[in-house]
Amino acid sequence: MEEIIITSKFTTYNSTKELPNEIQSLFEKAIQAQKSAYAPYSKFRVGAAISLDNGEIILGSNQENAAYPSGLCAERVALYQAASNFPEATISKIIITASPEATGITSPITPCGACRQSIAEYEIKQDSPIEIYFMGEIGKIYKSESLKNLLPLIFNKKLL
């Protein structure tokens, strides 16, 4: 038997004011995207902003459906829109914010498993890391240099 230890490294910030102006602006856009969320069931609004290497910013918000799991998370809404409209562009950054309707959340909200796998697909396709920033409604911000920090044992096409 052999034991394997896998570690992940994140940078944390106490507020958006500690971030470069470009990232602050992306957070503002992601927070604005939350307002278009359709979340009548979970009451949990999520916004995403994706920065592409061509200068385009793509926004997404979660879209729920009474027939679970027919809805989509904000991250995948933005990812698929970016891939559909700018198929040759490279995704450089993804910003994720979340806000429940009832109470403020201070823990950073990470992408769900399906979103992690979707981000992994694009990171592998473009053969370059995607920086991921995420936060709750208030509180600390986490930055991951790559999706590999969130999903170290990535399932990809090489395994098929």
65 is in an annotated binding site: yes
Burial 93-108 (b: 16+ CB within 10 A, else e): bbbbbbbbeeeebeeb
**One-letter amino acid for residue 155 of the chain:** F
pLDDT at 91: 98
Residue by residue, DSSP assigns 103-118 as: S---S-----HHHHHH
62 is in an annotated binding site: yes
Which domains does the chain show, CATH number per domain?
Answer: 11-148 (3.40.140.10)
Among all residues, which ones are annotated catalytic?
75
Q: Mind listing the pLDDT tens digit of every residue in the chain (160 residues)?
A: 999 999 999 999 999 999 999 999 999 999 999 999 999 999 999 999 999 999 999 999 999 999 988 899 999 999 999 999 999 999 999 999 999 887 778 889 999 999 999 999 999 999 999 999 999 988 999 999 999 999 998 888 888 8
CA distance 56 to 89: 9
49 is in an annotated binding site: no
Q: pTM of the full predicted structure?
A: 0.93
At 48, list the tokens: 């995403």
